[in-house]
């Protein structure tokens, strides 16, 4: 089986007014569902961001401190999962939700429990949807937009491919052209990144994605960073078409 981790960023799942972008979310869900129907040898794990943003928008609250971010995440998890559930149900697919924290992967027993749960879901043809448990964690809210989680999960689950979907076409060079392929991620690539436009709700930027890709590639996992708003983006990636930035594993 080919195991693929798909991380979907906040800016892919929400619009400029910080509402859930149901049209784009639906298109991604349908692409995943269609891929599963066409390729019986593929397993998908979704790592989904967006809970803080849509939760805070839902009650018109500004997530200006940790307590409010955690409260927003608690609300947003329900809103996100409800939409995932409905869209996947329309395609006759069953999904499950797992909320984890960084320390879960630092404890051998908890880490093994996560793996066993996901393996059992796969055996029952259920798609796992995973997010950081922002409502009880502190450190996780301060780092990445689930980028490091998706990379850690890919390594732990022996994934073949990590796909990081963002609202950018990939890593851009000095001339704003997409860097199509990287054999490694060094300081030269990291120097291309300017994450000064990060927001209070979207913590991950291109630097975070490059660091996550660096970790995954070092562990034998190919990585693609691509624009989750590009039509049929997952189909293009699975067909090895030249989209986004691909980081080849060592």
Mean pLDDT of 37-61: 93
- The residue among 201 and 222 whose pLDDT is bigger is 222
Mean pLDDT of 135-152: 74
pLDDT over threshold 50, residue 206: yes
Mean pLDDT of 68-76: 91
Mean pLDDT of 81-96: 98
pLDDT score for 195: 55
Residue 187: count of CB within 10 angstroms of its CB: 6
pLDDT score for 203: 55
Q: What are phi and psi of 241, to 5 degrees?
A: -75, 155
200 pLDDT band (50/70/90 cuts)?
A: very low
DSSP state for residue 91 in the 8-state scheme: T
The single residue listed with the structure tokens 């692409």 is: 31
CA distance 126 to 25: 18
pLDDT over threshold 80, residue 188: no
The structure tokens listed for 5 are 């981790």
The structure tokens listed for 225 are 């960073």
pLDDT over threshold 50, residue 152: yes
The single residue listed with the structure tokens 């404890």 is: 107
What is the dotted CATH code of the domain comprising 2-247?
Answer: 3.40.1160.10
The single residue listed with the structure tokens 């019986």 is: 40
1 pLDDT band (50/70/90 cuts)?
A: confident
pTM above 0.75, yes or no: yes
Least confident of 19-28, 45-54, 132-141: 132-141
pLDDT over threshold 50, residue 143: no
pLDDT score for 250: 61
pLDDT score for 136: 79
**Which of 3, 98, 92, 1 has the alpha carbon at shortest distance from 47?**
98
204 pLDDT band (50/70/90 cuts)?
A: low
220 pLDDT band (50/70/90 cuts)?
A: very high
């Amino acid at each position: 089986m080919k195991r693929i981790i798909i991380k979907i960023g906040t800016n892919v799942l929400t619009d400029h007014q910080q509402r859930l972008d149901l049209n784009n979310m639906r298109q991604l869900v349908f692409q995943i569902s269609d891929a599963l129907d066409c390729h019986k040898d593929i397993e998908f794990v979704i790592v989904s961001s967006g809970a803080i943003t849509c939760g805070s928008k839902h009650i018109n609250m500004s997530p200006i401190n940790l307590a409010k971010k955690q409260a927003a995440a608690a609300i947003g998890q329900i809103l996100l999962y409800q939409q995932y559930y409905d869209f996947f149900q329309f395609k006759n697919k069953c999904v499950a939700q797992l909320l984890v924290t960084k320390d879960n992967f630092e404890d051998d027993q908890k880490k093994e429990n996560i793996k066993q749960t996901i393996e059992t879901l796969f055996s029952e043809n259920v798609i796992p949807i995973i997010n950081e448990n922002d409502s009880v964690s502190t450190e996780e809210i301060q780092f990445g937009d689930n980028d490091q989680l998706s990379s850690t999960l890919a390594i732990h689950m022996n994934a073949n491919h990590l796909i990081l979907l963002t609202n950018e076409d990939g890593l851009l060079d000095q001339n704003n052209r997409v860097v199509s392929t990287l054999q490694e991620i060094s300081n030269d690539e990291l120097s291309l990144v300017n994450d000064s436009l990060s927001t209070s709700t979207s913590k991950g930027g291109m630097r975070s994605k490059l660091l996550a890709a660096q970790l995954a590639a070092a562990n034998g996992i190919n990585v693609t960073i691509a624009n989750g708003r590009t039509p049929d983006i997952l189909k293009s990636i699975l067909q090895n078409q030249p989209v986004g930035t691909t980081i080849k594993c060592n």
